[in-house]
C-alpha cells in the first residue's frame, strides 16, 4: 500500500475515533427529561439503522406505485 494511502486511512480512523468520543460526550450531557417526541423518534430510528439517507434509498427503489406507498407510509 502506498504511504499516502496509509496516512489517509490512519487520519480517517483517528478522526472517526475523535468523532465517536465527541458524540459520546454530547450524549452524556443530554438531559432525559428535556427530550421531545422528535428526539425519542430519532433515537429509535437511529437504533434501528434508519437515517435520512436510508429513507431516500428506500423511496428510489421499486416501481412508481411502490415509491408512492413508501412516502405515504412515512
Residue 3 pLDDT = 64
The full set of domain ranges for the chain reads: 1-30, 38-74
Evaluate whether 67 touches 60 at the Cβ level (below 8 Å). yes
Residue 30 pLDDT = 77
Looking up cell 489517509, which residue turns up? Answer: 8
| Neighbouring C-beta atoms of residue 42, cutoff 10 Å | 14
Burial 48-68 (b: 16+ CB within 10 A, else e): eeeeeeeeeebeeeeeeeeee
Tens of pLDDT, residue by residue, the chain (74 residues): 566 677 888 999 999 999 999 989 988 887 777 888 998 898 898 888 888 788 778 777 778 888 788 778 76
Residue 12 pLDDT = 93
Amino acid at each position: 500500500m502506498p504511504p499516502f494511502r496509509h496516512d489517509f486511512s490512519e487520519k480517517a480512523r483517528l478522526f472517526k475515533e475523535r468523532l465517536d468520543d465527541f458524540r459520546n460526550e454530547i450524549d452524556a450531557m443530554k438531559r432525559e427529561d428535556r427530550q421531545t417526541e422528535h428526539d425519542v423518534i430519532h433515537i429509535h430510528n437511529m437504533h434501528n439503522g434508519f437515517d435520512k439517507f436510508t429513507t431516500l434509498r428506500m423511496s428510489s427503489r421499486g416501481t412508481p406505485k411502490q415509491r408512492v406507498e413508501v412516502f405515504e407510509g412515512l
